[in-house]
A and B are shown apart, each in its own frame.
Chain A
Amino acid sequence: MRLKSGNLHPLGLCGLLAAFTVAVLAASPAAAQEYPAKDIRMIVPFSAGSGADAAARQIATRLSEKLGKPIIIDNMPAGNTIVGADTVAKATPDGYTLLFHATQFIVSPALFKTLPYDTIKDFEPVARVTSQSLLLAIPTTLKIDNLKDFVAYAKKNPGLNYASTGLGSSLHLAGAYFDHVAGLKANHIPYKAAAQALADLVRGDVAYMFYPYPPFKPHIDAGKLKILGSSGAEKPAFFPEAQPMTAFGYKDFVLPAWHAVYAPAGTPKAIIDKLDKTLKEIADDPETRAKMSAIGIDLYYASSAELKKLLPQEIEKYARIIEIADVPKQ
């Protein structure tokens, strides 16, 4: 420890005293051991208990079992996920700070005029872990039971409302893109709380909505909502009745939400490889698959290298959809 000799301010002295006391408590033989030698902090830029948080916790639990060190989830939802992502971008690239992010990560560059970080340059992709199909639901009061009839109905009645959980959210973009490819003229109605959007959909104030499966389930069971399609590339494992939009001729309508793990740029390759390999094992684990499926998420693995290639493509794709959806830059 470097200290100026001579006059030591009482404030500094006290800081030191306390520092030493706790340093002794916290000291651990961390230095040059095999990664991971200490707890890993995983920043999740969503609030605790949200869908992304649930996914992160599932993955983190498995990851920590396999790596043998605790992974601590740090929820940092401030500033539309930007603050959390920025914290990782500026963290020491030693493998002990990771980011678990959702589709918002790829949408942000097109949505915000300025970001404090560079989505490509400041991060090292570790692996993509999920694919979450968004289902297209309509209220059964419409008495329509397939997508073709719904599109016909919507064309006859322009000005239908569709709900989302906010401007530029993956739900909004899926809805807006559907509006575009099917040639409808629907109104976007954003909600702060998904619960209210759902209630308005069930009541019929809103005509359609893309959303993950679990919140729909009770209403599907109760016969209040009908699922017409899914934004995933394939039928989701948890609800095989939902046909992908591609099956209805909307060729490039593949917009699942997805989650991936990132590390700060400059993280040693050996660490990235180890994490990547472990995440692949997790993605292949049937028990994890079943657990994730229960919360409406399919495991979907893409390696660090594949994710590196995928990122710019996805960023470009969402930038195009944001333009189509006519979302003003924030």
Chain B
Amino acid sequence: MSSRVNVKEVTAGLLCIVIGGFFALQSVTTLPIGSARQIGPGYFPFAVGLILIALGILIGLRAVQPAESSDRMQFVSVRTMLAILASPVVFGLSVRPLGLAPAIVITALVATLAGNRANVVQSLLLAAGLTIFCVAVFSYGLGLSLPLFGPLLARFGV
């Protein structure tokens, strides 16, 4: 990559402008700005949003200077990314209906999908180990009031 602008810096600037723009725009359109005596709920986020836009422009402008950093950026694979980001969500979705124990098992299994060294046996062992450990610590040790098996499973007679 030998482009004359530093792509990374331009992206960084754009990100600031987008976040700042979002908050500033939301503030003026949905919230009262208020008066000096009684500053409204929109005033502060609007002002900070504008500052962030300005900073974003500054970052972007500096990026136009030719940059020497030509090293390619390395990213995490899509599969890894999805597995890692999904696992807390999966826990959140399953913990109430299924209960603590099944939720931990599923979360651990989803997480292990992210690694490229994982094999099925190791994943299962890890999930089982984590489940036993967490149940021991949180349910028995700390007396967490969360049911081990949720209503969805209880219906099937667990």
Contact = CB atoms under 8 A, between A and B. Distances in A.
A11 B109 CA distance: 7
B145 A41 contact: yes
A271 B10 CA distance: 65
A14 B101 contact: no
Interface in B117-151: 120, 124, 127-128, 131-132, 135, 143, 145, 148-149, 151
B75 interface: no
A15 B106 CA distance: 7
A74 interface: yes
A22 B132 CA distance: 8
Given A1-B157, A23-B149, A18 B131 contact: yes
B143 A22 contact: no
Interface residues of A, number: 19
Nearest to A187: B38
A89 to B, nearest CB: 14
A14 B132 CA distance: 13
Contact of A72 (B102, B145, B158): B145
Given A10-B120, A14-B124, A18-B131, A26 B106 contact: no
A14 B148 contact: no
Interface residues of B, number: 22
B132 to A, nearest CB: 7
A92 interface: yes
- Residue of A1, A10, A19, A41 with most chain B CB atoms under a 10 A cut-off: A19
A17 interface: yes
A4 interface: no
A92 B155 CA distance: 12
A164 B148 CA distance: 40
Interface in A93-120: none
A3 to B, nearest CB: 9
A21 interface: yes
Contact of A19 (B101, B132, B151): B101
A2 B128 CA distance: 22
Interface centre among B106, B109, B158 (most CB of A within 10 A): B158
Contact of B158 (A1, A10, A74): A1
A14 to B, nearest CB: 5
Nearest to B135: A22
Contacts of B149: 19, 22-23, 26
Contacts of A23: 148-149, 158
A72 B142 CA distance: 11
B65 to A, nearest CB: 44
Interface in B93-118: 101-102, 104-106, 109
A21 B102 contact: no
Contacts of B102: 15, 18-19
A326 B84 CA distance: 47
B132 A21 contact: yes
A73 B156 CA distance: 27
B145 A14 contact: no
B153 interface: yes
Interface in A217-253: none
A10 B124 contact: yes
A92 B105 contact: no
A319 B105 CA distance: 47
Nearest to A42: B145
A39 B143 CA distance: 11
Contacts of B128: 14, 17-18, 21
B86 to A, nearest CB: 13
A45 to B, nearest CB: 14
B105 A14 contact: yes
13 contacts: A1-B156, A10-B124, A11-B106, A18-B101, A18-B104, A18-B105, A18-B128, A19-B153, A21-B128, A26-B149, A39-B145, A72-B143, A74-B145
Given A14-B105, A23-B149, 7 more contacts: A18-B104, A18-B128, A19-B101, A19-B153, A72-B145, A73-B145, A74-B145
